Structure 1
Amino acid sequence: MSRKILGLDIRPDAVSAVLINSSIKGTVIEAHEHVPLSGRKEDRNGLADSLETIQQKMDLSDSICVASFPADEISYRNIQVPFKGQKKIKKILPYELEPTLPFPVEELIIDFIHIEIPDHTNTKNLITAAVEKSKLQSFLDTLVAFNIDPEIVTVGGYPTAFSLSKFLDSHKNWLFIDIDNNKSTIFIILSGNIGLIRSFAIRSASLSYKIKSLCGNIRRTLYALEKILGLDFELDGGFITGCGIDDLGFDKDMEQALGFPIERVDVLRFAEILKQQPPPPSWIPFLMNNALSLALMEIQGAKGFNFRKGPFALKKIWEENKKNLIQTGVFFVLVLSLGWFNVFLDSYFMEKRLARLNHQITGIFTSTFPEVKNIVDPVQQMKIKIQQARKNALLPGETEKQIRAIDILNTISKAIPKDMDVTLNRFVMGSESVSISGDTDSFNSVDNIKSKLEQADIFKKIIISAANIDKFDKRVRFKLKVNL
């Protein structure tokens, strides 16, 4: 069975879409598009125009959509909490973030991811992302107008950063910058974990001025991360992507300004499940990386930021599966009915068999003891007759010493005072003696138990065969041999 996954990367100045078909035969890229956002036309926004173009060029029917929300419209915070439970974190998160956010928390949708920081074992480090409900609602309304209802809405650029954190050497520190024409987002990857996310505007009067503005923001962000997490680290390199790096020398100029290697990302080169196919025609990595990473996250089942929660959680399960659910319900009722019918038949035949067995038992009893005319419970009456026959079978002069276990237990119970701290946990009865095991609070108590039992008429002799103190609970474990 195949699945179609649509990765929809929505940015401040463009929309990129990658449609992947995943089946048991393999995973292939069916189609891809990159459409710059146009200006607002009458009552339509640029996003609607771009989505219309994508819908005309790509068959989006029956596809699962994973979309990104523009990263520059999201507020990010790094916080620490003293516990790890998801439920507790969700409860206290609004109170922790409220003093630091420019909007009331009730107007925001907040999600978070965990980050692992060395030497921070006693606290849980989080990156939180908060988006205004009104903007998210407008975003989803625009998508739904084109029959696109994404299962996941995540942070723009985050899927690519997440993919890099898994592809790259986990013992090194990396920088990933998602660059648009006038905005950029930084993801700092520390030892395989995303440690910080920040978005900021960049001045783009000229290429040199744009790079100077961008690198200045990067240095300030790195300094802020050292202060926030209390770490002293060095970057091993950086990766860039986005529609703002179309100039050929962009990465080299950044490398000279920052002093460490900068490389353009090509997610298609890293993706194992897509390595068997050549790049599609007109594929430009820095324009399609984020959309491809969105689709790959869904295929791989990776978890991360998702703003489809609370009032924006998916509510289409019943509508999409109504027919299947009804069929399943009918099948369940049918199976349940057959089950009850089977129980009824089993009960009926069991009663018939029981009546037949009772008749056979009565027949055996009457043939064995024909003198008994009043038959009430043939099994019990037969037991009594057998016991009487055994007593009558004793030879003359023989005596039968019959001491019942219940009588012994009753004697022990009466002999030991109720206020004595003693627990009996083993009782083994033989023909001539009884072995009793238990525990009590002291050796004196063992002696008291022995003396009390010696007063009973049915016991000939009491012997303490063992008495030891348990190392763990400090109680005396004892064994008594009682001669009958």
Structure 2
Amino acid sequence: MGRSILGLTLEDNDIKAILLQARVKGFDVIQCFHIRIGEKAASEVVNELNQQVRIRPDSVYLTINTSGISFRVVRLPFKDTKGISKALPFELEATLPFPLDEKVIDFCYYWNESSAHVITCLLPRETIRIWLEELKKVNLEPEVVDVSIGPISNYILKQNEHNNFFILHLSDNVASISIIEANRIAFMRQINGSIRLNTNDQRDLLKFVNEVKMTLTSYKSSFSPSYAPTQGYVFGNNSYDFSLLGFFEENLGIPVSSRDILSSYLADFPKPVIPELDTSLVFPTALLGIELRPAFDLRKEAFPRETKLPSLLRYTRLTLILLALLLILWGAREFVNVNIMETRFQKLQTQLISIYVSTFNETKPGQDPVASAKAQLKEFRKRFKDVDLKVSSIKTIDILHDIIQNIPDNIKVELDRVFVDSEAIQIVGQSDSYNSIDILKNEFQSIPYISESNIQSAKADKTGKNINFEIRLKRKG
């Protein structure tokens, strides 16, 4: 099963919901419904919503389309997000008829060749706080909070073939207009009042159309003189009334149509779908979790989400006790291991000293063992020069001494192995050059009990820096 997503749209009189199930390609509409708010408290509405949701969604997204939303457009000399965030409150404070701390602010930046400005959205802080708290209680906390016109605009932007157009979203008490220029949201405005328009009430209808016309003209004169919309889209109340669409088109001088966003996805959905529900407008809200970006995120800064900890960490006291016990057990084990290692090391050290002392029995107590060994080797050398030894009486340690003493100081040689038997001595090692190996062979030839010195092999290693060699010394006798 794919990820399930619940899209919610909050309006003045009701809350609309759509539940989607994502598939590999596309998604299925599982459920769509609305709940009338009326005189109900937010907690009561949310509990009713929670009871109607058939499956627990993986993600929840909320958009708001209530009266009290305010849009402002501000020109700033920079477009970096941090700079705008700092400067925006100072720019807005003098132009607002209400205290700024009562509102949640977010913005999006628009620019083209002729214009650059910040579109700011302000929403009552208390409205967002109440609904977030109630939704969180039933485990339906939204990840993103946006205004409804935002995801609707982004959805049409993704589907549309026009570069410049406008969108009207009509609901019971408010209407929102979004102006699109060069395939970007360039302007937003909310028009308050009764928006249940019909062609029988020409006066209210004409008044509303003039508001739309004034908004388009104001944007053109203030921000983009070259702006000319080629299409208008109407969603919401009476948006499928052809005479209403014709009235808009006649008075605005622009082609105006409506678009059923959700119809293609409801082919297999149980009928009937309530016409006035207009669930299609909640659909882009749910798509925030799949393929759309929000125009604004009104909870990110003002109401940041708490990071969900693993269930084990939610029981803090028990978790700390368990961690303390684990640390104690681990510390005890490491302490025992260290003691065992120290005991073994001391035994090994004692054994090594015993072996060394038995080999070099002339070492004095407290004397450096290495210095003592060197002194004893020199003494062996003197003895060897003064006494005419037979080959059979030469000891292995004397042979090793003679080999080491016949290595010149000016050449670099490392001995790996020395094999000694009654007939020959085999020496395996490394040197830095072939010339050094030849010098070494000649030096070994001068040892009194060596009759012949031959290089059996000399070959460079893989790095090419060292020469591996084998020299065979034939013993006299």
Confirm or deny a common fold (TM above 0.5): yes
What letter corresponds to residue 353 of structure 2 in structure 1?
Answer: T
Deviation, structure 1 residue 89: 3.3
Contact 2:144 / 2:300 at 8 angstroms: preserved in 1? no
What letter corresponds to residue 62 of structure 2 in structure 1?
Answer: A
2:427 alignment counterpart: none
2:11 alignment counterpart: 11
Whole-Å separation in 1 of the counterparts to 2:347 and 2:49 = 78
**In the comparison of the two structures, how many residue pairs are matched?**
388
Deviation, structure 1 residue 230: 3.9
Can you list the C-alpha shifts for 1:300-356, whole angstroms capped at 9, x where unaligned? 584442333566444595798865878876776677567656654664454355445
Residue number among 208, 221, 225 corresponding to 2:219 in the alignment: 225
SS of corresponding position for 1:371: coil
Deviation, structure 1 residue 388: 11
Contact 2:63 / 2:145 at 8 angstroms: preserved in 1? yes
Can you list the C-alpha shifts for 1:420-470, whole angstroms capped at 9, x where unaligned? xxxxxxxxxxxxxxxxxxxxxxxxxxxxxxxxxxxxxxxxxxxxxxxxxxx
SS of corresponding position for 2:288: helix
Whole-Å separation in 2 of the counterparts to 1:174 and 1:384 = 100
Residue number among 257, 269, 272 corresponding to 1:282 in the alignment: 272
Q: 1:339 to 1:86 in 2, by over 3 A?
A: farther
Contact 2:104 / 2:122 at 8 angstroms: preserved in 1? yes
Deviation, structure 1 residue 97: 1.3
* Residue 15 of structure 2 corresponds to residue 20 of structure 1: no
Can you list the C-alpha shifts for 1:44-84, whole angstroms capped at 9, x where unaligned? 46x78866765564447667542222254111112244445
What letter corresponds to residue 146 of structure 2 in structure 1?
Answer: T
Residue number among 249, 260, 265 corresponding to 2:259 in the alignment: 265
2:71 alignment counterpart: 76
Contact 2:363 / 2:372 at 8 angstroms: preserved in 1? no
Equivalence map 1:27-426=2 (5 Å): 27-35=27-35, 38=38, 40=39, 44=40, 54=49, 57-59=52-54, 64-118=59-113, 125-137=117-129, 149-169=141-161, 172-201=163-192, 206-207=198-199, 208-209=202-203, 211-230=205-224, 232-268=226-262, 278-283=268-273, 287-300=278-291, 302-308=293-299, 312-314=303-305, 317=308, 323=314, 340=331, 343-344=334-335, 347-348=338-339, 350-352=341-343, 354-355=345-346, 358-359=349-350, 361-363=352-354, 365-375=356-366, 378=369
SS of corresponding position for 2:92: helix
What letter corresponds to residue 216 of structure 1 in structure 2?
Answer: N
What letter corresponds to residue 167 of structure 1 in structure 2?
Answer: Q
Q: 1:199 to 1:389 in 2, by over 3 A?
A: farther
Deviation, structure 1 residue 102: 1.5
Q: 1:26 to 1:50 in 2, by over 3 A?
A: same
What letter corresponds to residue 11 of structure 1 in structure 2?
Answer: E
Give the greater-gyration-radius structure (CA).
2
SS of corresponding position for 2:289: helix
Contact 1:67 / 1:152 at 8 angstroms: preserved in 2? yes
Whole-Å separation in 2 of the counterparts to 1:84 and 1:358 = 71
Once structures 1 and 2 are overlaid, which stretch shifts more, 252-261 or 48-57? 48-57
Contact 1:159 / 1:290 at 8 angstroms: preserved in 2? no
Q: 1:33 to 1:386 in 2, by over 3 A?
A: farther
Whole-Å separation in 2 of the counterparts to 1:354 and 1:304 = 69
Which ranges of structure 1 fall in alignment gaps of 5 or more residues?
402-484
Equivalence map 1:447-458=2 (5 Å): none
Contact 1:362 / 1:378 at 8 angstroms: preserved in 2? no
Q: 1:36 to 1:157 in 2, by over 3 A?
A: farther
What letter corresponds to residue 263 of structure 1 in structure 2?
Answer: S
SS of corresponding position for 1:17: strand
% of aligned pairs identical?
24
Whole-Å separation in 2 of the counterparts to 1:23 and 1:78 = 39
SS of corresponding position for 1:172: coil
Q: 1:147 to 1:374 in 2, by over 3 A?
A: closer
Contact 1:265 / 1:289 at 8 angstroms: preserved in 2? no
Whole-Å separation in 2 of the counterparts to 1:353 and 1:370 = 25
Contact 1:74 / 1:129 at 8 angstroms: preserved in 2? yes
Whole-Å separation in 2 of the counterparts to 1:379 and 1:97 = 84
The alignment's TM-score, normalised by the length of structure 2, stands at: 0.63
Can you list the C-alpha shifts for 1:360-392, whole angstroms capped at 9, x where unaligned? 6535543553321224664676689889999x9
Q: 1:269 to 1:192 in 2, by over 3 A?
A: farther
Whole-Å separation in 1 of the counterparts to 2:347 and 2:143 = 64
Q: 1:191 to 1:347 in 2, by over 3 A?
A: farther
Contact 1:267 / 1:285 at 8 angstroms: preserved in 2? no
